Chains A and B, each alone.
Chain A
């Protein structure tokens, strides 16, 4: 009997939707439409995208936008919240509980170093934290070591293998070391400028620690789709990087 091989599910763990300023440049206004993501994401063979808001001062409205888009495109989009621990201090738990339990968002991006208020809520909700300490490689260690140690039950996803566009190359080996050291630190491979560090990550880390992402629609998801292909992972490892790791970190969807 002929058995058909099924294409592994590919989920982009790092995409954007809604309005705000681009994370790449605080001076540039953006309003990312879901259609922009789907057009090129489909061409890249991506089945679903995790979307989070672009940069905002506060995120209550932006997160509602995300939830609304996910409702419109159920099955294609997975919504992540974003919050600024500093600018939204005092109301983080209340907002996040509502966004996760009532609105169905599945993770939170921390706009700035995560604080105890945010991380305590994250523990309660059992969701992962996406946090990118921009700057050079020393920033990465400075802002990841302590949260990862103090909150061993929280899973941290560091975007861009530690450095957007590979502008500071030494951040990539530093991020790989952090992911090796801490069981609760994961790396997403979106928006990496120097592909050899993605190759280094899959060579040096177990495939359970790396997540596929694209930065769509800010960046063309077809490029990171090609990067995933060029990693030449064995099927089991490919399936983990392409979606299984993310789904494991997200856990069961909350009852909305």
Chain B
């Protein structure tokens, strides 16, 4: 018997999404990280360029760009211009994420080797169901990380620790990371936007740098940092091992976000760590297995 997993149909892509696909397909997509690593065989010395912060899929609210649609084809077009090999993708804004995460798995499957799928969950609205969903999303659907906007609960953190996946979290305030990073030292936490989306509050960039210095398991993503002096400061003070390139596509253009890193003219090995090596290392800690 072939297990099938139903997915939400959406308008994205050249053709409509199939209503179902096989577990084998899901597991094939789960090997995307490995597949891309293998595709580097032609250029074994090159570290892939990976955007750690990208949204994809369809939303239902239609009240803002980030509740409406994030088209993976447009994103791939910009990736080609920017020299980006892969991106970690997760859903846009929803109240609950079960269907949206299925759509992410489908997008990963549709563009083999290009996307690494993450789940997204709301620890409040999905309370009590997250462990079961996340285990299934990683083991059966091949997702390899978790995106959060809301502070993670022990239910979320225990499951993430069990799976060995990273969390990318866009917090309301940088200080919200503190007790989480302290209580779960084995969970890798990537703070989105260097602590402040679109540099809305430059003080939060400084707070983020301090927090990442304090906790070995906290990393900073570069996406949508408008005051680039804080990106320079973060690399100078923390070293390249704590910085992860991300863009927040499709709201923020990956071509300009990667430009902000490249103009720093870092030594090659440092730039490679930021543009792909660091996130590749974090993704390599997965221990959830497959179904």
Give residues in A with beta carbon < 8 Å to B.
24-25, 28, 165-167, 169, 191, 193-196, 218-220, 222-223, 226-227, 230
Once A193-B226, A194-B251, A220-B228 are accepted as A-B contacts, the answer to whether A226 and B198 lie under 8 Å apart by CB is: no
Q: A193–B259 contact, CB under 8 A?
A: no
How many residues from B make CB contacts under 8 Å with A?
20
The distance in angstroms between the C-alpha atoms of A191 and B256, with both chains bound, is 12
Interface residues of B in 180-228 (CB under 8 A from A): 198-200, 202, 224, 226-228
Q: Does B272 reach chain A (CB closer than 8 Å)?
A: no
Please, could you name 24 A-B residue pairs with CB atoms under 8 Å apart, sorted by A? Answer: A24-B227, A28-B202, A166-B198, A167-B198, A167-B200, A169-B64, A169-B65, A193-B198, A193-B199, A193-B224, A193-B252, A194-B251, A195-B255, A196-B253, A218-B227, A219-B228, A220-B229, A222-B259, A222-B263, A223-B259, A223-B260, A227-B256, A230-B253, A230-B256
Q: Which residues of chain A are near B228, meaning CB under 8 Å?
A: 219-220, 223
Q: Does B171 reach chain A (CB closer than 8 Å)?
A: no
A196: nearest chain-B partner, CB-CB: B253
- Shortest CB distance A249–B (Å): 26
Q: Which residues of chain B are near A219, meaning CB under 8 Å?
A: 226-228
B232: nearest chain-A partner, CB-CB: A220
Q: B198–A195 contact, CB under 8 A?
A: no
Give residues in B with beta carbon < 8 Å to A.
64-65, 198-200, 202, 224, 226-229, 250-253, 255-256, 259-260, 263
- Shortest CB distance A23–B (Å): 13
- Shortest CB distance A224–B (Å): 9
Q: A195–B199 contact, CB under 8 A?
A: no
The distance in angstroms between the C-alpha atoms of A101 and B251, with both chains bound, is 44
Q: A24–B202 contact, CB under 8 A?
A: yes
Q: A169-B65, A220-B229 are in contact. List 10 more A-B contacts (CB 8 A).
A: A166-B198, A169-B64, A193-B226, A194-B252, A195-B253, A219-B226, A220-B260, A223-B228, A223-B256, A230-B253
Q: Which residues of chain A are near B198, meaning CB under 8 Å?
A: 165-167, 193
- Shortest CB distance B158–A (Å): 36
- Shortest CB distance A76–B (Å): 22
- Shortest CB distance A188–B (Å): 16
- Shortest CB distance A239–B (Å): 22
Q: Which residues of chain A are near B202, meaning CB under 8 Å?
A: 24-25, 28
Q: Which residues of chain A are near B227, meaning CB under 8 Å?
A: 24, 218-219
The distance in angstroms between the C-alpha atoms of A24 and B199, with both chains bound, is 10
Q: Which residues of chain B are near A230, meaning CB under 8 Å?
A: 253, 255-256
The distance in angstroms between the C-alpha atoms of A25 and B196, with both chains bound, is 14
Q: Which residues of chain A are near B224, meaning CB under 8 Å?
A: 193
A222: nearest chain-B partner, CB-CB: B263
Q: A195–B259 contact, CB under 8 A?
A: no
Q: Which residues of chain A are near B251, meaning CB under 8 Å?
A: 169, 194, 196
Q: Which residues of chain A are near B64, meaning CB under 8 Å?
A: 169
The distance in angstroms between the C-alpha atoms of A169 and B228, with both chains bound, is 21
Q: Which residues of chain B are near A223, meaning CB under 8 Å?
A: 228, 256, 259-260, 263
8 A-B pairs closest in CB distance:
A195-B253, A165-B198, A193-B198, A220-B228, A226-B259, A165-B226, A222-B263, A194-B251
Q: Which residues of chain B are near A195, meaning CB under 8 Å?
A: 252-253, 255-256
- Shortest CB distance B141–A (Å): 30
The distance in angstroms between the C-alpha atoms of A195 and B198, with both chains bound, is 12
Scoring B64, B251, B256 by chain A CB atoms within 10 A of each residue's CB, the highest score goes to B256
A40: nearest chain-B partner, CB-CB: B263
B231: nearest chain-A partner, CB-CB: A220
Q: Which residues of chain A are near B255, meaning CB under 8 Å?
A: 195, 226, 230
The distance in angstroms between the C-alpha atoms of A25 and B255, with both chains bound, is 27
